[in-house]
């Protein structure tokens, strides 16, 4: 065999190998494309077929809130939603979804009762729970039964369960009530060990958001003010449960304060303890619960569950119904939820520019006669808060009344934004006030010195190095920042006094960073009336002299691609379940733990989005 013939055979062999590899790759690519195509077809089918099956003629409405109760969902990229869909439950539930479903179901003859399954609810605050509780009570007025079931009940889950006619607890379960607390991590020694110098500037004896930077514990003043509003919130919780369950006054305090003794008397059985204290009506394993619900609601076609319709499915059908002819006169509703930052921010936070764009939509709509601003915010950047307040002021200057409805929290910068409104409404358990200002500037000269790094140079003025965090802060620089803090605090007092028909001196007496409940804030004149969002909307209609109006939500505008992806994402979860698939993602943190982590990291994260280092932020307003 010649060398030439041998080479040709080797080339032919390798050519066949590469051809086989190429064919295999093409086959795999085609197979993958086919799988993707089938998946997309399944999604589209779920959008246009699976979701529009008729509702049962009679069924229970099932509420299964998951994650944190919120006024506005945190923005998630629709493509990420599609990728992450599957068995994973939502990390947030809209309060308005729950209340809308209950309001519609109350007089809907197809809905014969309500089932509360609360195992996946992570929390949301007493104010939001009260709002939902009021909607449950209104639903009950129709005479339809309300049943709550749970393997266990956390404190916030149980508050909603207490509105039910019957509460079923798993015999292996328990009810965990532990009261309210306000706890923080303190970093002084850690910063000292790292040799980081935190330069803190503030106005207000009670503006204790800076304490974690300079102390290892909570100050006496901070403990005193926190105790006042925490006790008021706990009183609202305990009295609400006692009223719902018709328990003697003090029953909940006895259950919590003497937990170890009470549990010992129940032989360590938490379920029996809850039954003995009247917190539940029945200890029922899952088969018994299903049997009870089936006897009330009827059985499904498979005879394996009771007849029910989920909240989102029910709302979907309600939205399909033809609405009444819309009124020409509109009341605009804008939700301001989250920390206030400069610039553009997605939903779930408040950006000065992005929020201004929403206000612009109100100004451009000639049919809008009033604006309701729903605030659920601890504050944030002083500059951004003022930008937003001025935008709201322009709305008022154009003759459109502005009514603020406070959610769970409208403090510090959140109150700055609200202060000039024509009316301010708050819930009795809203946390508000915190009228004060602070600034934080860390410098790292000592930290760097331990590494042998030093900074030196010359400047044309004593403050030329004011923005160099690797140098000590000069006395003049400290004075300049403190004067700026003082100035912003004075502006805060002036705008509150102007909006509340008071004087800066009188506002100063109740300010200085003090935190108040909505009930106390009304007594002090910081809010006008106590009530929920519906009350604020009605007040806006009165101010605008409207008998007939349409409420419109003002939201960020999505482009075509975002709208398409968002629409597709709604059907993915059902499609993946039909295909037997599960999410490729699994959350690293539970919703409650994620919320805590976010609050913890905010103390160091805020400066990245508010570079002025001057904040109207109520970091101490957290309830545990």
Asked if residue 443 and residue 358 are part of one domain, the reply reads yes
> DSSP letters of 32-70?
HHHHHHHHHHHHHHHHHTGGGPPPPSSEEEEE---EEEE
Asked if residue 364 and residue 430 are part of one domain, the reply reads yes
The list of the chain residues with pLDDT below 50 reads: 48-51, 86-87, 559-562, 565, 572-608, 610-611
Asked if residue 509 and residue 380 are part of one domain, the reply reads yes
User: Among the three residues 302, 320, 338, which one is the final residue of a domain in this structure?
Assistant: 320
Give the pLDDT confidence of 69-106 residue by residue, as tens digits.
999 988 776 555 555 554 467 889 999 999 999 999 99
On whether residue 213 sits in a domain, the answer given is no
Q: State the pLDDT at residue 8.
A: 52
% of the chain exceeding 90 in pLDDT? 63
Asked if residue 458 and residue 424 are part of one domain, the reply reads yes
Residue from 343, 341, 371 nearest 357 by CA:
343
On whether residue 433 sits in a domain, the answer given is yes
Structure tokens at 57: 């003629």
Q: State the pLDDT at residue 585.
A: 39
Q: State the pLDDT at residue 248.
A: 97
Query: What's 539's domain CATH number?
Result: 3.90.226.10
What residues are annotated to the active site?
207, 412
Asked if residue 378 and residue 304 are part of one domain, the reply reads no
Give the pLDDT confidence of 386-443 residue by residue, as tens digits.
999 999 999 999 999 999 999 999 999 999 999 999 999 999 999 999 999 888 889 9
Structure tokens at 515: 């935190």
Q: State the pLDDT at residue 75.
A: 76
Asked if residue 403 and residue 316 are part of one domain, the reply reads no
Asked if residue 356 and residue 293 are part of one domain, the reply reads no
Q: State the pLDDT at residue 440.
A: 85
Q: State the pLDDT at residue 91.
A: 87
User: Among the three residues 260, 293, 320, which one is the final residue of a domain in this structure?
Assistant: 320
On whether residue 114 sits in a domain, the answer given is yes
On whether residue 458 sits in a domain, the answer given is yes
Asked if residue 413 and residue 461 are part of one domain, the reply reads yes
User: Among the three residues 320, 349, 378, which one is the final residue of a domain in this structure?
Assistant: 320
Q: State the pLDDT at residue 4.
A: 54
Domain count, the chain: 2
C-alpha distance from residue 560 to each of 74, 306, 573 (Å): 20, 40, 22
Could you list the residue range(s) of the whole structural domain that residue 475 is in?
330-557+591-621
Q: State the pLDDT at residue 323.
A: 59
On whether residue 46 sits in a domain, the answer given is no
Residue 580's CB: how many other CB atoms inside 10 A? 6
Asked if residue 113 and residue 149 are part of one domain, the reply reads yes
Q: State the pLDDT at residue 546.
A: 95
Q: State the pLDDT at residue 32.
A: 67
Asked if residue 336 and residue 278 are part of one domain, the reply reads no
Asked if residue 143 and residue 114 are part of one domain, the reply reads yes
Q: State the pLDDT at residue 359.
A: 92
On whether residue 145 sits in a domain, the answer given is yes
- Please classify residue 588 by burial: count the beta carbons closer than 10 Å to its beta carbon, then call 0-12 exposed, 13-18 middle and 19+ buried: exposed
Instruction: Please give the order of strands across the beta sheet that includes 67-70.
Output: 92-94, 67-70, 121-123
Asked if residue 430 and residue 307 are part of one domain, the reply reads no
On whether residue 195 sits in a domain, the answer given is no
On whether residue 360 sits in a domain, the answer given is yes
Residue from 269, 428, 350 nearest 617 by CA:
350
């Amino acid at each position: 065999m010649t060398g030439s013939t041998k080479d040709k055979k080797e080339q032919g062999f390798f050519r066949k190998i590469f051809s086989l590899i190429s064919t295999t790759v093409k086959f795999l690519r085609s197979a993958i494309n086919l799988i993707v195509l089938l998946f997309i077809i399944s999604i589209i089918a779920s959008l246009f077929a699976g979701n529009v099956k008729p509702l049962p003629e009679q069924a229970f409405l099932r509420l299964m809130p998951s994650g944190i109760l919120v006024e506005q969902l945190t923005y998630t990229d629709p493509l990420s939603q599609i990728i992450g869909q599957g068995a994973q439950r939502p990390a947030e539930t809209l309060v308005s979804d729950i209340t809308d479903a209950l309001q519609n179901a109350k007089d809907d003859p197809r809905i014969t009762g309500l089932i509360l399954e609360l195992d996946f609810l992570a929390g949301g605050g007493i104010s939001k729970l009260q709002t939902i509780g009021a909607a449950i009570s209104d639903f009950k007025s129709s005479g339809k039964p309300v049943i709550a079931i749970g393997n266990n009940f956390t404190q916030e889950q149980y508050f909603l369960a207490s509105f039910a006619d019957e509460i079923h607890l798993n015999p292996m379960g328990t009810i965990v009530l532990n009261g309210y607390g306000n706890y923080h991590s303190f970093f002084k020694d850690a910063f000292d060990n790292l040799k980081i110098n935190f330069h803190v500037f503030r106005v207000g004896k009670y503006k204790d958001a800076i304490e974690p930077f300079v102390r290892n514990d909570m100050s006496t003043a901070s403990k005193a003010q926190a105790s006042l509003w925490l006790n008021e919130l706990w009183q609202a919780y305990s009295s609400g449960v006692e009223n719902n369950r018709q328990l003697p006054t003090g029953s909940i305090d006895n259950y919590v304060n003497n937990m170890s003794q009470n549990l010992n008397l129940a032989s360590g059985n938490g379920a029996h303890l809850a039954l003995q204290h009247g917190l539940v009506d029945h200890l029922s394993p899952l088969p018994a619960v299903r049997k009870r619900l089936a006897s009330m609601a009827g059985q499904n076609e498979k005879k394996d569950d009771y007849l029910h319709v989920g909240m989102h499915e029910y709302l979907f059908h309600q939205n399909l119904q033809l609405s009444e002819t819309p009124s020409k006169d509109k009341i605009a509703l804008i939700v301001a939820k989250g920390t206030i930052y400069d610039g553009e921010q997605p939903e779930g936070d408040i950006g000065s520019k992005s929020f201004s764009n929403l206000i612009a939509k109100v100004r451009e709509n000639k049919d809008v006669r009033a604006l309701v601003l729903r605030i659920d915010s601890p504050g944030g950047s002083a500059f951004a808060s003022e930008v937003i307040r001025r935008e709201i002021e322009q709305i008022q200057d154009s003759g459109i009344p502005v009514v603020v409805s406070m959610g769970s929290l409208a403090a510090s910068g959140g109150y700055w934004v609200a202060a000039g409104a024509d009316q301010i409404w708050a819930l009795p358990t809203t946390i508000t006030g915190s009228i004060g200002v602070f600034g934080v500037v860390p410098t790292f000269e000592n930290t760097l010195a331990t590494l042998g790094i030093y900074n030196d140079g010359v400047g044309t003025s004593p403050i030329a190095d004011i923005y160099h965090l690797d140098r000590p802060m000069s006395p003049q620089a400290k004075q300049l920042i403190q004067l700026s803090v003082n100035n912003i605090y004075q502006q805060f007092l002036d705008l509150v006094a102007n909006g509340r028909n008071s004087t800066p001196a009188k506002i100063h007496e109740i300010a200085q960073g003090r935190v108040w409940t909505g009930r106390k804030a009304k007594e002090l004149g910081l809010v006008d009336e106590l009530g929920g969002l519906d009350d604020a909307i009605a007040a806006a209609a009165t101010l605008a002299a409207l008998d007939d109006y349409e409420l419109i939500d003002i939201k960020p505008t999505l482009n075509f691609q975002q709208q398409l992806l968002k629409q597709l994402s709604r059907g993915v979860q059902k499609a993946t379940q039909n295909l037997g698939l599960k999410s490729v993602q699994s959350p690293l943190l539970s919703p409650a733990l994620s919320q805590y982590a976010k609050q913890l990291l905010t103390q160091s994260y805020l400066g990245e989005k508010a570079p002025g280092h001057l904040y109207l932020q109520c970091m101490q307003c957290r309830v545990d």
